[in-house]
């Protein structure tokens, strides 16, 4: 057998009367739909429940699988110790999943700290399921900080394992929608909140999962959701098959979106190979972006992509503009992914033959040697955003009043130690912040007397 079906459910603790104390009546549609969803799950007589939760212990570069054979827990963390469940693991499924992922070098398995408790993202759907079914085993899997494509691929692997073991499997993807629907809600309001929920309703009604994959992480973060990645894993398990979908309910009276949906997998349908379609779309976006890049950024991208894909430095192209080959300068190469810094390495003064050489060396260092980050992986290349800063000569200044965080970078120097911070960096709004960060980077304490330098950059992006 394969993954036969899936449900997407929320996990508000107040859904239980023991916690809600009457407030749960305001989401009665969700409660009714939850029970309908669990009857739908039971109708497939599943041997294995694969439960994806965003509230398990998770890692930036690894999908953690809970492997305790049996776990009993209660809802004491939400003031209801009398609410209890027991989860029995499908140990053979977990072992097969762990082995398969190791064999293909896929970052998923039983490594990491094993939790002794059942997180509320798992607890709530399992308690609803236990109202009608207890003869099942569960595989609990956390999300990760890896790309959306990795989450989709994990879903595909889960389907493969189900087929290999002849398991009747059903996926429960646990996740709330936006937490930012109302100004008076616990997380406030963001315009992305209602927009996210509107998009998700359309996706779940149609079972067209490609727009789910295309959602930008910055948009999801602004919406304050916690279900996107579990839903992507779920959709991966249904890849290349016809799907009957039904949005059972949606409401958000407390400022958090609660949606319940059910999906039944059918026959093969290659038109629904959304993973492949997403890869093709992503490559088109990369190609389009590359067309607008200048020679500085294009060279940085070429050097990084070559190194990440081959493990070897790229040969610098011979036909480059003279501004890259006839001048020397310090250069910083910065990488961002999903709006967050992913690597930044540079030289304050020129070290190599010319700016092209400087870019090439610092680009490789930025993607592989920045101690704050793991080396860039091949699957991340399509999501990288590049900038190249060419430093102009630094000049000493007498006081911080001569700085401007938007116009000038700063160098702090003391007793052979130096710290540098580039200008116009997100989140750095004052000169005091700029100097403090530069001191920290150089290992220079706030009490140490230091010489300040300022410099301008020519930024290419």
417-428 per-position pLDDT tens digit: 999 999 999 889
Report yes or no on 279 lying in a domain: no
Per residue in 292-334, pLDDT (tens digit) is 899 999 999 999 999 999 999 999 998 899 999 999 999 999 9
Spatial distance between the Cα atoms of 153 and 8, rounded to a whole number of angstroms: 18
| Whole-number pLDDT of residue 114 | 79
1 pLDDT band, cuts 50/70/90, is confident
Which among 363, 387, 411 is the end of a domain? 387
Distance, CA of 297 to chain centre: 25
On whether both 326 and 449 belong to a single domain, the answer is no
Give the model confidence (pLDDT) of 56-65 as tens digits. Answer: 999 988 999 9
Structure confidence at residue 220 (pLDDT) = 96
pLDDT of 427: 85
In a domain, 282, yes or no: no
pLDDT bucket at 70, cuts 50 / 70 / 90: very high
Residue 358 has pLDDT above 80, yes or no: yes
Locate 277 and state its tokens.
Answer: 């379609």
Decide if 284 is inside a domain.
no
Mean pLDDT of the 352-376 span: 95
Q: What is the mean pLDDT of residues 366-393?
A: 92
- pLDDT per residue over 2-48, tens digit each? 999 999 999 999 999 999 999 999 999 999 999 999 999 999 999 99
The residues, ordered by sequence, that sit 6+ positions from 376 with a Cβ below 8 Å of its Cβ are 304, 308, 335, 342, 343, 367, 368, 384
Which residues face 63 on adjacent strands? Answer: 108
The whole-angstrom separation of Cα 166 and Cα 159 is 10
Report the share of the chain in percent with pLDDT over 70: 100
119 shares its domain with 233: yes
- In this predicted structure, what is the pLDDT of residue 253? 96
Which residue, 319, 322, 443, 453, is CA-closest to 393?
Answer: 453
Q: What is the pTM of this model?
A: 0.84
pLDDT above 80 (res 357): yes
Q: How confident is the model at residue 135 (pLDDT cuts 50, 70, 90)?
A: confident
Within-domain flag for 281: no
For residues 383 and 407, state if they share a domain: no
Shared-domain flag, residues 111 and 29 = yes
Does an H or E element contain 410, and which?
strand 409-414
Model confidence at 214, in pLDDT bands (50, 70, 90)? very high
Which residues 6+ apart lie within 8 Å of 272 measured at CB? 209, 238, 239, 240, 241, 242, 243
Domain count of the chain? 3
CA distance 76 to 438: 45
Please say which residue of 387, 409, 438 terminates a domain.
Answer: 387
Interior/surface letters 257-281, b for 16+ CB within 10 angstroms, e for the rest: bbbbbbbbbeeeeeebbbbeebbee
Residues above pLDDT 90, as percent of the chain: 88
**pLDDT beyond 90 at 339:** no
Give me the pLDDT at residue 283, please: 86
- Segments forming the whole domain that contains residue 299: 293-387
Does one domain contain both 236 and 371?
no
Q: Band of the pLDDT at 222, cuts 50, 70, 90? A: very high
For residues 93 and 186, membership in a common domain is answered with yes
Ordered DSSP codes for 162-173: HHHHT--EEEEE
pLDDT band of residue 444 (cuts 50, 70, 90) is very high
Question: What's the whole-number average pLDDT of the chain?
Answer: 95
Read off the CATH number of the domain in which 375 is found: 3.30.700.20
Number of H helices, E strands in the chain: 14, 18
Residue 169: phi, psi to the nearest 5?
-110, 145
* C-alpha span between 404 and 434 (Å, rounded): 9
- Determine the pLDDT at residue 225: 97
- Choose one of 366, 387, 408: the last residue of a domain: 387
Q: How far apart, in Å, do the first and last CA atoms of the chain sit?
A: 50
| Structural domain contains residue 177 | yes
- Same domain, yes or no: 324 and 240: no
What is the sign, positive or negative, of the torsion defined by CA atoms of 376, 288, 389, 363? Answer: positive
Determine the 3-state secondary structure of 321 from DSSP. coil
Query: CB under 8 Å to 317, separation ≥6 — which residues?
Result: 299, 302
State the CATH number of the domain containing residue 72: 3.40.830.10
Match 């005091």 to its residue by tokens. Answer: 432
Same domain flag for 313 and 171: no
């Amino acid at each position: 057998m394969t993954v036969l079906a899936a449900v997407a459910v929320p996990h508000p603790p107040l859904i239980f009367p023991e916690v809600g104390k009457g407030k749960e009546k305001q989401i009665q549609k969700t409660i009714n739909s939850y029970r309908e969803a669990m009857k739908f799950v039971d109708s497939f007589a599943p041997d294995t429940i694969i439960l994806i939760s965003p509230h398990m212990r998770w890692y930036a570069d690894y999908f953690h699988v809970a492997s305790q054979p049996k776990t009993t827990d209660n809802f004491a963390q939400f003031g209801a110790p009398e609410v209890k469940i027991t989860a029995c693991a499908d140990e053979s499924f977990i072992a097969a999943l762990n082995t398969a992922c190791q064999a293909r070098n896929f970052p998923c398995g039983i490594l990491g700290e094993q939790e002794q408790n059942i997180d509320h993202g798992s607890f709530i759907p399992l308690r609803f399921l236990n109202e009608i079914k207890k003869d099942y085993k569960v595989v609990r899997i956390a999300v990760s900080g890896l790309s959306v494509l990795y989450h989709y691929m994990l879903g595909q692997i889960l389907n493969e394992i189900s087929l290999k073991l002849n398991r009747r499997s059903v996926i429960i993807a646990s996740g709330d929608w936006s937490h930012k629907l109302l100004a008076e809600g616990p997380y406030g309001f963001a315009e992305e909140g209602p927009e996210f929920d509107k998009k998700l309703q359309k996706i779940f009604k149609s079972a067209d999962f490609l727009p789910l994959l295309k959602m930008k992480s910055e948009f999801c973060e602004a919406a304050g959701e916690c279900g996107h990645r579990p839903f992507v894993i779920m959709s991966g398990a249904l890849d290349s098959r016809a799907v009957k979908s039904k949005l059972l309910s949606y409401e958000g009276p407390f400022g958090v979106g609660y949606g319940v949906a059910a999906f039944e997998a059918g026959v093969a349908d290659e038109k629904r190979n959304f993973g492949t379609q997403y890869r093709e779309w992503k490559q088109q976006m990369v190609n389009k972006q590359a067309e607008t890049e200048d020679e500085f950024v294009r060279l940085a991208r070429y050097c990084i992509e070559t190194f990440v894909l081959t493990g070897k430095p790229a040969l610098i192209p011979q036909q480059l503009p003279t501004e890259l080959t006839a001048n020397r300068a310090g250069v910083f190469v910065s990488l961002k992914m999903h709006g967050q810094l992913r690597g930044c390495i540079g030289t304050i003064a020129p070290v190599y033959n010319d700016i092209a050489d400087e870019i090439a060396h610092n680009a490789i260092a930025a993607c592989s040697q920045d101690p704050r980050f793991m080396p860039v992986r091949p699957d991340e290349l399509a999501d990288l955003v590049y900038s190249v800063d060419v430093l102009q000569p630094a000049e000493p200044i007498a006081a911080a009043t001569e700085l401007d965080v938007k116009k000038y970078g700063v160098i702090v120097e003391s007793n052979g130690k130096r710290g540098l911070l580039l200008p116009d960096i997100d989140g750095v709004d004052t000169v005091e912040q700029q100097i403090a960060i530069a001191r920290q980077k150089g290992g220079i304490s706030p009490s140490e007397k230091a010489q300040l330098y300022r410099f301008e950059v020519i930024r290419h992006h």
